[in-house]
C-alpha cells in the first residue's frame, strides 16, 4: 500500500506558505489504466462498469479517461488517442504496454483485468514521490515529481503529470451520457435513461503537463539515481478545483510507440484541492428482499448529495453494534446494492450506509441510521390455522403491515392488514396445498434511487412456507419420510403409497420441479435433485387415493 502523508490543505496566513501533500509509491508497483471514451458512445457506461470492477479488484490501479468528440476533449487526450491508434470506444491501454498476443497497445475492456494483474505481478523499476500544493487565491497548483531508479536501466525515461477532474457535469449532448445498457436487465445502468442527463463523468483527463509522452528525466539510469521535475498549473475557470487530482508517471521513451511502457505511477488524494465544503451525509431509504434473486437490496436516494465519490455499505456482524464493510458503489452508478451473501430466509439483517466525498472523507458510521429487515417465520399449524410471526422492520416510520399469501406457487394476494404494533398473524382455514406468506410495508412518500425509472414503494420481507398446511383429514403418517436428508444427488420418498405426481417448492412457495410417475406400484419415489442449488426445499407427493405426502429436505 502506498505511503500517504496528509497535511491538510490550508493557507498559512502568517507565513504566506501553502501546506503540501506528499504521496509515494514507496517501493510498490501501481498500474495506469487509460481508457478512451465519449459521452456520445452508448457503451461508455459498460466501460465504466469494467473500469470500476478493475479498480475494486486491484486497488493499485490508477484509472483515467481520455474523452473523444464531446465537451471534455483536450489536445493531450486527442494526441494520446492518435499516437496509440484508438479506433473503438470504450477501450484502453494498461501501462501503455503491448502484451503478448495483442497487435496494438489499445485493448478491449474485457482484457483490462488480466492485463492489470499481469503488470501488478512485476517489480517496479522506479519509485515516484509527488509533492504538491494549491493556492486557492490564484488557482495555481505547484508540484514536483521525483523519480528514483530501483535498478540499473538502459534507455531514456520521462516524467509526466496528469490533471484529472472528477464529477464533471454539463448539459446537452456534449455531456449527457448515451447509454446502450439502459434496456439490459441486470446491468448497473439498466433503466438509467438513454441518454443519462446530468451524468457525473469521473477520472476525466484535463491535461498532461508533459504532453502525451512526458519530459526528459533519465538516460541509462544507475540504481538509486534520482531526478526531480517541477510543474505548475493554473486551474481554468469552469473546472472545479475541489474535484481535481494529480497523477504522476515515469515511462520509458523508446524509438517506437511499442517501447514507451509506463514504469510506475502515483496519484494524489481524490479532491486534492482544499475541501471548503461541508462533508455530505446520506441515509438508507429502504432495505427490501428482491423477489427475483431472493437477496437483500439496500436502496438510497442520492439526489441533492454533492461532492460524493462513492457509497459504502456496512452489515452488522454477529457482535451487536459491530459493522463490517461489505461493498462499495461508485457515485455515478445506480444507488442500490444487492447483498449477494445475504440469506433472508434464515435471519434478519441490520445495515448502515456512508458516503465518501471528493476529498476522501468518509461520513462517520456513527451518523448512519441502521435499517433492520423484516424476517417472517412459520411457527405452527394447529386445527388448520397457520401461525406466523416476524422481526419488525426498523429504520423508517410506518403504521401498517400487509400480510400476503401465495397458494401452490401462485401470486401473492393480500389477506390482511394489521397495525405496526403487532408482529404475528393467524390464518384460519387457509386453502389446501402449499401456502407461502410474506409481510409488506408501504414506504411513506416512496423511495426513488437516482437515475432510475421506477422507485421502491414497498418493503418486502422474506417468504415463509407453512409446509404442513391444508392436509386436512390426514393422519400423522401423512408427513413424508425422505432420505437421505440432507442429500446432494437424489432423495427417496418412502411410506407414500402409489405416487402419481410430485412437486418440489423452494421456501418462497415457488414450484421449481414437477414430475409424473408412470408406474402404479408401491415402490419408493426417487427424485433427482442434482440440479438444485443448495438450500431447503419442500416435496409434495400426490398419491392415488387423492391425498398427499409433504416433507422438507435439504440439498447440499
Distance CA 397, CA 416 (A): 20
Q: Could you tell me if 424 and 387 are in contact, meaning their C-beta atoms sit under 8 angstroms apart?
A: yes
Element (H, E) at 309: strand 308-316
What percentage of residues in the chain have a pLDDT greater than 90? Answer: 62
For residue 16, the SS3 value is: coil
Distance CA 104, CA 98 (A): 6
Distance CA 309, CA 312 (A): 10
Q: What is the mean pLDDT of residues 43-64?
A: 96
Distance CA 132, CA 129 (A): 10
Give residue 357's pLDDT. 84
d(CA 471, CA 548): 7
Q: Which domains does the chain have, with CATH numbers?
A: 284-372 (2.60.40.10), 378-466 (2.60.40.10), 476-555 (2.60.40.3080)
Q: Which three cell numbers stand for residue 132?
A: 504538491
The confidence score (pLDDT) of residue 35 equals 98
Is residue 510 pLDDT above 80, yes or no?
A: no
User: What is the tens place of the pLDDT at every residue in 461-482?
Assistant: 998 888 654 333 333 334 567 8
Phi, psi of 78, rounded to the nearest 5 degrees:
-65, -40
Least confident of 6-15, 212-221, 231-240, 401-410: 6-15
CA distance 148 to 128: 7
- Length in residues, the chain: 556
C-alpha 410/C-alpha 406 separation (Å) is: 5
Q: What is the pLDDT of residues 248-260, one digit of tens each?
A: 999 999 999 999 9
Predicted confidence at residue 451, as pLDDT, reads 45
Say how far apart CA 175 and CA 190 lie, in whole Å: 19
Whether the predicted pLDDT of 17 surpasses 50: no
Interhelix angle for 44-57 vs 112-120, to 10°?
Answer: 30
pLDDT digits (tens, 9 = 90+) for 327-368: 999 888 888 999 999 989 889 999 999 999 877 789 999 999
3-state class of 419 per DSSP?
strand
Burial of 53-88, coded b for 16+ CB within 10 Å and e otherwise, reads ebbeebebbbbbbbbbebbbebebbbebbeebebee
- pLDDT at site 317: 95
Whether this model's pTM surpasses 0.85: no
Q: What would the grid cell of residue 126 be?
A: 522506479
3-class secondary structure, 32 = strand
Q: Which residue has the higher pLDDT, 508 or 174?
A: 174
The pLDDT of residue 454 is above 80: no
3-class DSSP assignment, residue 182 = helix
Judged against a pLDDT cut of 60, whether residue 182 lies above it is answered with yes
What per-residue confidence (pLDDT) applies to 476? Answer: 32
Q: With a cut of 90, say whether residue 266 has pLDDT above it.
A: yes
Q: Is the confidence at residue 551, as pLDDT, over 80?
A: no
Amino acid at each position: 500500500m502506498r505511503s500517504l502523508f496528509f497535511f491538510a490543505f490550508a493557507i498559512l496566513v502568517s507565513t504566506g506558505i501553502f501546506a503540501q501533500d506528499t504521496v509515494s509509491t514507496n517501493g510498490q508497483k501501481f498500474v495506469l489504466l487509460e481508457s478512451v471514451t465519449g459521452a456520445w458512445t452508448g457503451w461508455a457506461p459498460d466501460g465504466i462498469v469494467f473500469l470500476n470492477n478493475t479498480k475494486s479488484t486491484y486497488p493499485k490501479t490508477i484509472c483515467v479517461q481520455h474523452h473523444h468528440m464531446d465537451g471534455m476533449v483536450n489536445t493531450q487526450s486527442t494526441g494520446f488517442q492518435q499516437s496509440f491508434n484508438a479506433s473503438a470506444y470504450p477501450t484502453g491501454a494498461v501501462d501503455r504496454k503491448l502484451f503478448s498476443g495483442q497487435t496494438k497497445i489499445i485493448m478491449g475492456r474485457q482484457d483490462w483485468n488480466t492485463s492489470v494483474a499481469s503488470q501488478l505481478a512485476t517489480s517496479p523499476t522506479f519509485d515516484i514521490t509527488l509533492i504538491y500544493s494549491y493556492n486557492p487565491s490564484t488557482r495555481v497548483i505547484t508540484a514536483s515529481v521525483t523519480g528514483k531508479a530501483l535498478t540499473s536501466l538502459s534507455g531514456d525515461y520521462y516524467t509526466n503529470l496528469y490533471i484529472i477532474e472528477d464529477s464533471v457535469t454539463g448539459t446537452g449532448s456534449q455531456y449527457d451520457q448515451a447509454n446502450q445498457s439502459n434496456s439490459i436487465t441486470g446491468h448497473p445502468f439498466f433503466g438509467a435513461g438513454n441518454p443519462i442527463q446530468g451524468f457525473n463523468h469521473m477520472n476525466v483527463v484535463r491535461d498532461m503537463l508533459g504532453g502525451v509522452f512526458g519530459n526528459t528525466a533519465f538516460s541509462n539510469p544507475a540504481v538509486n539515481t534520482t531526478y526531480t521535475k517541477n510543474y505548475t498549473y493554473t486551474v481554468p475557470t469552469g473546472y472545479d478545483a475541489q474535484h481535481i487530482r494529480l497523477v504522476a508517471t515515469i515511462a520509458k521513451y523508446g524509438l517506437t510507440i511499442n517501447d514507451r511502457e509506463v514504469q510506475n505511477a502515483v496519484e494524489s488524494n481524490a479532491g486534492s484541492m482544499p475541501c471548503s465544503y461541508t462533508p455530505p451525509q446520506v441515509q438508507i431509504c429502504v432495505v427490501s428482499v428482491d423477489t427475483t434473486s431472493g437477496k437483500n437490496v439496500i436502496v438510497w436516494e442520492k439526489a441533492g448529495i454533492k461532492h460524493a465519490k462513492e457509497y459504502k455499505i456496512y452489515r452488522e456482524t454477529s457482535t451487536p453494534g459491530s459493522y463490517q464493510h461489505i461493498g462499495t458503489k461508485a457515485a455515478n452508478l445506480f444507488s442500490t446494492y444487492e447483498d449477494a451473501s445475504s440469506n433472508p430466509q434464515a435471519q434478519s439483517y441490520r445495515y448502515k450506509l456512508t458516503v465518501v466525498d471528493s476529498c476522501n472523507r468518509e461520513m462517520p458510521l456513527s451518523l448512519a441510521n441502521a435499517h433492520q429487515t423484516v424476517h417472517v417465520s412459520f411457527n405452527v399449524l394447529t386445527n388448520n390455522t397457520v401461525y406466523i410471526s416476524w422481526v419488525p422492520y426498523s429504520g423508517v416510520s410506518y403504521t401498517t403491515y400487509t400480510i400476503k399469501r401465495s397458494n401452490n406457487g401462485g401470486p401473492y394476494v393480500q389477506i390482511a392488514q394489521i397495525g405496526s404494533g403487532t408482529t404475528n398473524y393467524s390464518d384460519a382455514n387457509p386453502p389446501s396445498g402449499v401456502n407461502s406468506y410474506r409481510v409488506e410495508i408501504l414506504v411513506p412518500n416512496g423511495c426513488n434511487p437516482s437515475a432510475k425509472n421506477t422507485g421502491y414503494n414497498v418493503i418486502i420481507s422474506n417468504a415463509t412456507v407453512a409446509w404442513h398446511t391444508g392436509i386436512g383429514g390426514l393422519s400423522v403418517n401423512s408427513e413424508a419420510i425422505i432420505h437421505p436428508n440432507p442429500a446432494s444427488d437424489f432423495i427417496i420418498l418412502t411410506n407414500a403409497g402409489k405416487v402419481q405426481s410430485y412437486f418440489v417448492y423452494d421456501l418462497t412457495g415457488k414450484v421449481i420441479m414437477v414430475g409424473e410417475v408412470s408406474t402404479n406400484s408401491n415402490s419408493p419415489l426417487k427424485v433427482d435433485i442434482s440440479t438444485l442449488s443448495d438450500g431447503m426445499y419442500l416435496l409434495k407427493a400426490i398419491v392415488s387415493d387423492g391425498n398427499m405426502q409433504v416433507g422438507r429436505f435439504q440439498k447440499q
